[in-house]
Amino acid sequence: MITALVTGGTGFVGSHVARALVRHGYRVRILRRATSRLDAIADLDCEHATGDVMDPASLAAAMEGVDWVFHVAAVADYWRSDPARIYTINVDGTRNVLLAAEAAGVRRVIFTSSAAAMGYRADMRPVDESVRFNYDQHVTPYGHSKFLAEAEVYRAIRRGLDCVILNPTVIIGPGDLNQISSSVIVEAARGNVPPTVPPGGLTLIDVRDVAEAHVAAAERGRTGERYLLGAVDLTHKAWLRLTAHTVGRRMMALTLPAWLVRRVAVVADVLRRSGVPLPIEGNQLRLSTNMMFFDCRKSWRELGPPQIPIQQSLRDTYAWYRAHGDL
């Protein structure tokens, strides 16, 4: 039987990947820190390896007898984190995982990157896997860190390691303990529906579809390929309207012009530097003025199309937060 190691296996995406692997009949081992919360995998039949992506010795021990490695661990809450930490964990940590996998003779590595590692198109057409990162790195340290981490993956491939890269878009779904993307649902349920929205848009996908794509990538993904994972494109206004409807709130939001959002971003930067706690930061606001839509047809063809409608994902996420006492 194939044994799979999942780094970040106690987190939002990692725990769902671990569950999908168990469901498909694979033996699963998760790498976790000694202080990690176990809520997301408390009932899961899996092995535990205590360690950290910054600790090569613990990685070597965790990969003993492992066939596949799913490197999911990363700093994803970039607006709450220091850029230096983002680069350390996302880039150096990825390099450590790849070197350990090579040394252990792992057969395949699935790297969880992000759509943020892609670039943008001046013609506003949806971005596909061929568009390279071309943002100002200071605007999106997270996206830049994932771009650099992918460079580490390609170096490992050239050394002979079999790797596949997955680039999820915005992920929602039950189990988002740290409220990374699903914080919009929590805030709306609490009555915090903003009166204004930025003019851009985004591509979304349910975390359970992301997890299934990880399994499919291990089983039949092509070495060295990137696969964008997404289900539906929504403007910010449509996304907020769907969310408000799901949680039983009214939405009367006005779409702001991009120039005004950028000015608000400058004010947000000043306030955050002054120590004022804000739920959003300037670069998030700047990026929110873009139509960040992605062409995910390659992954649909080769790994399988998403199965969970975004409305169901919203309902399930809302129900999960209610059941866990967050609302």
Closest residue by Cα to residue 5 from 55, 57, 51: 51
Angle between helix axes 93-104 and 141-158 (nearest 10 degrees) is: 20
Encode 227-263 in three state secondary structure. EEECCEEEEHHHHHHHHHHHCCCCCCCEECCHHHHHH
Which ranges of 159-253 would DSSP assign to H, the alpha helix?
Answer: 183-189, 207-220, 236-246
The helix/strand/coil state of 126 is coil
**42 with 62: CB under 8 angstroms?**
no
The DSSP letter of residue 89 is: I
| Cα(14)–Cα(36) distance, integer angstroms | 13
Instruction: Select which of 16, 29, 144, 146 is catalytic.
Output: 146
Residues present in the chain in total? 327
Indicate the helix (H) or strand (E) that contains 226.
strand 226-229
Output 186-189 pairs: Cβ under 8 A, ≥24 positions apart. 186/321, 186/326, 186/327, 187/279, 188/240, 188/243, 188/244, 188/246, 188/247, 188/249, 189/247, 189/249, 189/318, 189/321, 189/322, 189/327
Closest residue by Cα to residue 288 from 253, 316, 317: 253
Tell me whether residue 237 is one of the annotated catalytic residues. Answer: no
| Cα(41)–Cα(21) distance, integer angstroms | 13
Catalytic residues: 146
